Chains A and B, each alone.
Chain A
Amino acid sequence: MTFGKGLRGLSIATVVMVATALALVFFYAPNDADQGFVQKIFYVHVPLAIVALVGFIVAGGFAIAHLRTRRQEFDYLSYVTIHMGVIFGVAVLLTGSIWARASWGKWWVWDEPTLVSFLIVFLLYVTYYPLRYSIEDPERRARFSSVFAITAGAFVPINFLAVRLAEGFVHPRVLNATAGDMPGEMRLTFLVSLVGIALLYTTLVKLELTAKHARGQIKALRRALEREPEAGASGPALATVPARPE
């Protein structure tokens, strides 16, 4: 499997979309009547949260594919997708905290279901790392990680629904049946930001996978070359050495 295929085009599309989104945020979208200029944080905070959560669900899909096929690539895809989701999760918590301070006068509010539920999901996925790296056998590690990714991935939409059904919430709703009460300019800006952040996520996942795969191939080549003097001319052909990403 070649992870770096199409990376160049994807990177260009990401830069174009993110730049367009930023231009729309600051020069096109009107200031919110209630919150004023500080509402601009919405265009980075909400897309980051949506993409991170969708990424966690997608990682569960890759984990199912891994358990069904036993192909290592799916385990790496699942791992890197979760890894990027956690990084985006850090950004969600930090930008959300800044927005909360500006809007509510507090860095964190414990009685707000959306905030607390995202924190729970984030902390759940943080435990993925100790689980993954506490198992030495690569096959068992991949299997256990996949089971975790599927279970946690199923928890994400359940958690989302529970928050929606919770009473007394004050967090603004964005993606309801009528696409929220946003004016057209705000909605367009939000959608472009969402696409830009989703492209950024995909690009970073591909970049990480490509780097890991390249390092794995180098390690496999090194092992083969170091065996070569003992094996002589009849030793293993370098091209047949399996490459295992780190």
Chain B
Amino acid sequence: MPALPLDEAGKYVAGAYGVFVMLILIYVSIIGARLQRIERDLQELTKLAERTRARNGS
């Protein structure tokens, strides 16, 4: 097949790099959501630890 003209080839190149960037972004956003959950869990744990300490102290 002859080489595609720049305007047509550009769409394919943008598509390929776009797929790569999109996958990375999706992955990073999943990790971000997990970090939020970890933060929420840590807040709950802090409260639980404070309650436990108060109970053991009284």
Indicate whether A99 sits within 8 Å of B16 (C-beta atoms), given known contacts A36-B4, A208-B31: yes
Indicate whether A37 sits within 8 Å of B4 (C-beta atoms), given known contacts A90-B23, A214-B38: yes
Contact with A along B1-16 (1 / 0, CB 8 A): 1011110011011011
> Which A-chain residue is minimally distant from B56 (CB atoms)?
A233
A91–B9 CB distance below 8 A: no
Residues in B with CB closer than 8 Å to A37 are: 3-4, 6, 9-10, 13
- Which interface residue of B1, B13, B17, B45 has the most chain A CB atoms within 10 A? B13
Among all A-B residue pairs, the 6 with the closest Cβ atoms: A36-B3, A102-B12, A38-B9, A37-B9, A41-B16, A95-B16
B13–A218 CB distance below 8 A: no
Interface of A is mostly: helix
A103–B20 CB distance below 8 A: no
Indicate whether A98 sits within 8 Å of B12 (C-beta atoms), given known contacts A211-B35, A221-B45: yes
Indicate whether A105 sits within 8 Å of B4 (C-beta atoms), given known contacts A40-B13, A214-B38, A215-B34: no
Residues in A with CB closer than 8 Å to B34 are: 211, 215
Shortest Cβ distance from residue A86 to the other chain B in the assembled complex, whole angstroms: 11
A71 at the interface (CB under 8 A from B): no
A228–B4 CB distance below 8 A: no
Q: How extensive is the interface on chain B, given as a class? A: 20 to 34
Residues in B with CB closer than 8 Å to A200 are: 24
Once bound together, how far apart are the Cα atoms of A228 and B49, in whole Å? 9
A215–B38 CB distance below 8 A: yes
Pick from A32, A38, A208, A228: contact of B12, CB below 8 A: A38
> Which B-chain residue is minimally distant from A208 (CB atoms)?
B31
Pick from B1, B16, B45, B49: contact of A45, CB below 8 A: B16
A35 at the interface (CB under 8 A from B): yes
Indicate whether A44 sits within 8 Å of B16 (C-beta atoms), given known contacts A102-B9, A104-B1: yes
> Which B-chain residue is minimally distant from A214 (CB atoms)?
B38
Shortest Cβ distance from residue A171 to the other chain B in the assembled complex, whole angstroms: 15
Shortest Cβ distance from residue A128 to the other chain B in the assembled complex, whole angstroms: 18
Once bound together, how far apart are the Cα atoms of A71 and B24, in whole Å? 30
Residues in A with CB closer than 8 Å to B48 are: 222, 225-226
